[in-house]
Structure 1
Amino acid sequence: MTSHLTFRAATAADVDAIAALVHAAYRGESSRAGWTTEADLLDGQRTGPEEILEAIGATDSEVLLAERDGALLACCHVQRRGPRCYFGMFAVDPEHQGGGLGKGLMAQAEDLARNRWACSVMEMTVIEQRTDLIAFYERRGYTDTGRRSPFPYGDERFGIPRRDDLAFTLLEKGL
């Protein structure tokens, strides 16, 4: 019998596990087991305990976890910003990518934004060089707004760039 996936809001007790999951999904050699790696673009941490704890404790903010048998497999952050919600810190364990887990968590996040906060749009920023990841989001109904913002060079909270041409693109989806 296959155990089912459960979703819940993160607490302060989850901070270290979330930081490890996000790092494993995006940075370093462990991230190469999945397809979401940024290891060729950035070194250093993806997010730290302080940022995660802040997201957990913020008003109109939830860090959503997906677990199976008590093991953390995926996470994301949803934050209300007026009539819009921001989707970020999305990570799926590299060993579990490609099986629909991320799609399920995104659906939960969109439901939360729509039903709890009555948001009409979900938005996110993605490094524009991550064309494979942008294509994944586009298959889920997100569109490229054409708006770009600079990568925060010099702020190691976002990582240590391996290139000098990084920028973010804003994607959005009507809810």
Structure 2
Amino acid sequence: MDISEIADPAFTNEAAESTPAPSQRSDDNTKAMIEVPPSSAADDKHLTEALTALVNAVYSTAERDIYSTDFERTSTEDVADLLRAGELAIAYLPRPDANEDASSFHQTWGTPIGCISMKQISPTTGEFGMLAVDPAHRGAGVGGGLVRFAEERCYRNLGLGAMRLELLAPVHFEHGGKTRLQAWYESLGYVHVELRDFKGAYPHLHELLSGPTEFRVFEKRLVD
């Protein structure tokens, strides 16, 4: 599924380097940390609800006018499945008074402000999606940090040499957000490699489109 509109003006093309970034990082402005929570986080109702609300709010804005009606990008069940599979990374603000014995992510780790999903799609290639950042924390490198984290995880942990992403963009009108987002991905080293059949991949969503739309696939080599 297409990536949300989080193009971050504070993030440069660091991710285009051949060597991925460290798997855990702290941003100078937000002090955000990025981790893949343990699978037990899937049972944290507070966390799954918070992430679902964040992703749906971001995509509602990012894909306005692309669809003829509103729809929810994800659900608590989908988020829980990703957490259980270890395929969802979370950017969060660490709590100074974190309680290691607490049962919730918020009490133990901190406040989630962004997320990204990542998975292996072939013996050599990974894919990221569902990239979302709380609007209050944009412009501080959180989105770029999430992308770098996903690249690092697929490269270091899975031994994959390439990463892909999908971008849904209308062709019957100029969507400024999608144009900026594509330029941002290209600045990170992603290259347009093919057009996919959106109807075939997501028939239930294709019916909701407001007009002709391209389903673009981008790829980046993680090593030279």
TM over 0.5, shorter chain: yes
Q: Which of 60, 72, 84 does residue 57 from structure 1 map onto?
A: 84
Aligned-residue offset at 1:132 = 2.0
What is the root-mean-square deviation in Å for CA atoms of aligned residues?
2.2
C-alpha distance in 1 between matches for 2:142 and 2:166: 21
- Who is 2:132 aligned against? 91
C-alpha distance in 2 between matches for 1:169 and 1:66: 26
- Who is 1:34 aligned against? none
Amino acid at match of 1:132: R
Q: Who wins on radius of gyration, i.e. which is larger?
A: 2
Unaligned stretches of 5+ in structure 2?
1-27, 95-109, 171-177
C-alpha distance in 1 between matches for 2:92 and 2:126: 23
Q: Which of 65, 70, 76 does residue 116 from structure 2 map onto?
A: 76
Sequence identity (%): 29
Contact kept, 8 Å, 1:24 with 1:94, in 2: the verdict is no
- The count of aligned residue pairs is 163
Higher strand proportion: 1
Contact kept, 8 Å, 1:153 with 1:161, in 2: the verdict is no
Contact kept, 8 Å, 1:46 with 1:159, in 2: the verdict is no
Unaligned stretches of 5+ in structure 1?
32-36
Aligned-residue offset at 1:118 = 0.6
- Who is 2:92 aligned against? 67
Contact kept, 8 Å, 1:22 with 1:91, in 2: the verdict is yes
Amino acid at match of 2:136: E
TM-score by length of structure 1 reads: 0.82
Map 1:12-161; keep pairs closer than 5 Å: 12=42, 13=44, 14-27=47-60, 31=61, 37-42=62-67, 43-58=70-85, 61-69=86-94, 70-81=110-121, 82-129=123-170, 130-151=178-199, 155=204, 158=205, 161=208
TM-score by length of structure 2 reads: 0.66
- The structure whose RCO (Cα within 8 Å, separation 6+) is larger is 2
